[in-house]
Amino acid sequence: MHYYEVICSSCRNKFRVYEGSLRFRQLKERTDKIFRCEECYSKIRMDAIKNFFR
């Protein structure tokens, strides 16, 4: 399986973006310069939800 190794913009950890995923396409087309690993991505989503209910 094809994948890119990307540095997470939040935690600076390396993570893999696999072929066929939305992020892989974004990476290939360079539509987004900020990439976050799954962990940071869900953390940010959780924070957004928490803020929403505050």
Q: With binding defined as CB under 5 A, does residue 17 bind Zn ion?
A: no
Measured from the CB atom, is 8 or 27 closer to Zn ion?
A: 8
Phi-psi region of 16 (alpha: psi -120 to 50; beta: other; left: phi over 0): beta
Measured from the CB atom, is 25 or 42 closer to Zn ion?
A: 42
The conformation of residue 21, written as its DSSP 8-state character, comes to S
Exposed, middle or buried by CB within 10 Å (0-12, 13-18, 19+), for 27? Answer: middle
Provide, rounded to whole angstroms, the least separation between the CB of residue 36 and Zn ion: 5
Q: With binding defined as CB under 5 A, does residue 11 bind Zn ion?
A: yes
Which residues contribute to the site for Zn ion (CB under 5 A)?
8, 10-11, 37, 40
